[in-house]
Chains A and B, each alone.
Chain A
Amino acid sequence: MSVDPAPDSDATVAEVMTAALARRLERVDNAFQGFASPLPTVALRAAHEAAGVTHLSASGAVDGRPARAPLSTESARLLEGATAHFTSPEAFDMAARGNVDVMFVGAAQFDRRGRMNGTVAGSWDDPAVKFGGGGGSGSLLPLVRHAWGWRTEHSPRTLPAEVDFVTAEGNLDYLLTPLCAFERVGDGLAVTALHPGVERREVRERTGWDVRFDDPERTDPPTEAELDLFERVDPDRVRRSGFAELDPL
């Protein structure tokens, strides 16, 4: 069953986001991806191919080079072509020592201060929706050098002013959505890049707080070479999973 909501489009905002992450990754030595992270995993696969970034995977793989990026990013398919096995508790230890450059984090909610909630909508004592939990993030957000958040939905529900529950708070300094990129400026997040065709008004309307814009640049659309690389490492387009809809660029 395909996870691609736009099978006839060569480029969508999923590729804009993948390219933004892959370019940013080329400046780091290593990055760790956990489970349930298909888009960051494809970006990391691409950055490994393009720039040799060390890819640490929850699947236990170091620098896996599977023919097809898997939808479950805990999958042992990421062990294909890997140079070593390295379990996720070992990767957590490495983070605890301060040696993980970047970790990707997903969450049900991110707020204006870069705090994240993967635990509950409502309150702990009176849950409206119980989510699955934050995985490793509660421990790791203060430990990794940089945590990069990502979401396939940009709405007041997913980006409230204050999260309902603080599963994790720490070194989240970048947050990528289908509309824009936020970076940490001072004690909160500010928009530093707007994706192609996105206006400030739309970001304001779809964010749960009074958004700050810090001289945002325009995200460059993916190049032909980038699109080719994404198709090569991710022929099943798992990078597009989780998006309710995707329009052609």
Chain B
Amino acid sequence: MAVAPLSDLAARAGDGDVVALGGKTLHRAPMALVRALARAGTTDLTLVGLANSMDADLLCGTGDAAAIHYGYVGFEALGLAPNYRRAVEGGDLDAREGTCYTVATMLRAATQGVPFLPVAGLEESDLPAVNDALGETACPFTGESTAAVRAVRPDVTLVHAAEADPDGNLRLGGADLTESLAAAAGDVVLATAERVVDPGTFVERPGDTDVPAHLVDAVAEVPYGAHPCACPGEYDYDAAHLREYLDRSKDGAFAAWADEFLAGDESAYRERAVAGRTEEFAWDGADAPSPPAGAEP
């Protein structure tokens, strides 16, 4: 199965899984897949990401994230990540804080099938003292000491793309952020795409395929699958929705936000969160994605 419904994709992830998140900060976060995991009640997850925003924060809010390997969780200029912050301050999230580079190197170790890799930097940082995925090793040839990271092999990697073909080849739209690395590291790679295009569409320019189908296990067509984060070239991040999410989460009203926006399926989500508002976050110079079914004219 390459093309499948989103709920079938979510069923490939299980309780206790290590889940890598594609995208970076407010861009190309695999939000529809994250929402699907939350709806399915998949829990006790260990998240992995270089720099994440609402994807990680939402799973902290629902209580489904038990641990996270990360370099940053936040909303850039929009503010701190409220549910992540509350979970860490309350001792409910095992925060394996490293750096974007150490997390990338942990994923590189998984892609290479090795248990650890040396990594440059980290001298004088307090992070290795609080994160047991960061260590130290000696070069077997020269004895030189170097920092090292443990491999993290995701059970499941979640990525969002602008386009997929029916075999699961992905075109991200814009530069790769973390997706190729996360896909190569994961045992099962689940993708959503704004559009599934006709077979053979990518053959003319294979160099433009960012993630090849042999790394992708299943893909679902989900318009606005990164919303309220951005899908470059398709739509920008939805600042109004993100601010509402942040305000309500800070005010102790995350559960009400979740009831309102996670109930039902993705078409229900688009009805509530996207319909009639697409102009507010349209990507300049590109046509806005077609309005979802039921959108107001």
Contact = CB atoms under 8 A, between A and B. Distances in A.
Contacts of B27: 59, 72, 74-76
B99 A135 contact: yes
For the complex of A and B, the 8 pairs showing the least CB-CB separation, nearest first, are A60-B175, A132-B74, A76-B232, A139-B121, A169-B124, A96-B120, A76-B174, A139-B101
Interface string A78-89: 010000011111
Contact of A130 (B95, B121, B181): B95
Contacts of B98: 138
Interface of B: 24-27, 50-51, 70-74, 76-77, 80-81, 84-85, 88-89, 95, 97-102, 104, 119-127, 130, 173-178, 181, 230, 232-233, 236-237, 239
10 contacts: A36-B76, A36-B77, A87-B175, A88-B177, A124-B130, A133-B73, A138-B125, A139-B120, A142-B123, A170-B121
A169 B175 contact: no
B175 A59 contact: yes
- Main SS of the interface on chain B? mixed
A133 B122 contact: no
Nearest to B104: A89
Contact of B73 (A85, A88, A132, A169): A132
Contact of B119 (A124, A128, A139, A242): A139
A119 B178 CA distance: 22
Interface in A29-78: 35-36, 38, 58-61, 71-77
Contact of A87 (B51, B74, B97, B177): B177
Given A89-B104, A130-B95, A143-B120, A138 B230 contact: no
A86 B177 CA distance: 9
Interface string A137-158: 1111111000000000000000
A36 B84 CA distance: 18
B126 A76 contact: no
Contact of A167 (B119, B121, B127): B127
A79 B286 CA distance: 14
